[in-house]
Structure 1
């Protein structure tokens, strides 16, 4: 049984860790030395965190452009760093990020919490379905699984069929991958007569996309695999900061290692309870590559509810709703791709989909392309999208295998508009 710190005790720990971090990086980190030069330390309360400046990804990218290759956001001599990773670069230039042995151990500790909340133990056989590139998430998951004492099975450059057979032959009980790839593996399994419903896989932990917290996507994956799905969220520049639990109704922030705020991205002020805002995080255990009041770009709902699972850490109902930069305005309606996905995934007949923004008669429009063996799904899906999104969205059925499949982060949005809406 896990014993959590009481709220007062937790806040005291957070403040202590935060002040230790701030005092250290102000003296040893050139990037933050400049940003913190007018801040009086130590902070007297956690509320004073709002006196610290925000950090943005653009600042970190610009810093690396100005001081190549790694920028000035490192607190130790280069020879102290043992791990190199980088962001995906899906929203711009990739960030190069270094970890010392101590800070990568911290990454592993964060992942141990993900495993614990998912019910994974040393008795499990954990299968990592990814290619072991510079993306940090599953590297940390790999090392954490070793620390846990579980059998770890990597699949490297194997094809999807080879991975499925590898899982079956080695009696994998836990699968780690993106939600998109879990769906694709199920499609490949069906095509090749591989029975995943009765396989030993009982737990799926997803990362890299918001789909694991989208109920319809989660339900579809669980139905196809006969397993329970747990979501995880993290960022290369931040850490593995959140995870779902047995209740599967949102995400917990790992407050022992992170301080979370939810702000209005326009006013930069905290949003009220129940309102949607941008998640801002401070990591407390990564002094070699700190991220203080980092604007994640992830949109969440600020909540003061406690989860029935007993975990008292800050709870995000519905998980990550979408990215701030993913939202578009089509004919006056704010649209997040995850909102459309949540409706599409209610139809198990849809094998794959793509969202296309385009311009017609000087008006921005949206359509959804789907692969499906059912013709009846088109009018039904179009009706449901109009009712739930509040906008007429064209649904177009395309041939099988016309749309791309993804092993890592899916890119299901194509923007063909002649005029961009900011």
Structure 2
């Protein structure tokens, strides 16, 4: 189905309007969103995406609607995985919590721009060269394998950040949410700009597996663009809403690996069905079965459900979440300056430490062996006196 230009224009205008609204009313003034605020606005953005999808279903038909929702769910799941990396990056740069909203919004905007570019390049390649499906499928299978490998934890210091540090003068200290400041009479970059560079660099890498994944579900450029865009909307609020839950989703990478592997196989089967490579079956299509979008949607939702439930009931996930909560509370307490803020963060720390009592002795012993966490708690208790 061809989408009229006026629909494209109104859709892009609506998405830009949502981003501007987000900046003006939520991000421009630095603050830490409450759980209620993050939950309410997350629900609003998910609701907007669902209403849009129902509109696609109504005007474009069931096939188009199913493709949109399959793409949206897949991209949303991948965007949640992205939040893990954003969390690591901001922790490695010690970004003040009140300023994390601006970093996240920048990441969303940059990601949307990068993915839009990849979408139109990918669409052009698919329209001209059917064999591109083989490449997209291989990328997804490789990404799935990489997700199963242990994380090296170096996301915060990627090549773009190392290059920026080498070529430009950088400060070790934040100056509010400013990107540049002056030190010793010289204009230098702040860590705020560096963390944005780090997130921008990782966004490009995310696009390399995100876009082939959704092209594996639909080749309709409008569906690919809108499902991707709406999956990114509300990502900032979702970050603060499930900040504590992120550490508990210990099996998410396995679920995403299964989803990307499944879509990779689907792409390769489609490539074989549309085969034009002369050295394969004489350039003629092969009679292989194709996976329907409905089945894809069912598999994606099923895998995510199993992954989330398994993570939530896992003792290891509970221990990881408890340790992360203690680490965040201790860091927030040490960074607090105002008396009221110090009292609040201290109470949070005490509550987080009490939650460790529910862990097994083996899990508590593992946490006690964590020298970084132990040192953090010692400094927090020493400050409290």
With structure 2 as the length reference, what TM-score do the two structures score?
0.28
Larger radius of gyration: 2
Structure of higher RCO (CA pairs closer than 8 Å, 6+ residues apart): 2
With structure 1 as the length reference, what TM-score do the two structures score?
0.26
> Which of the pair is proportionally richer in strand?
1
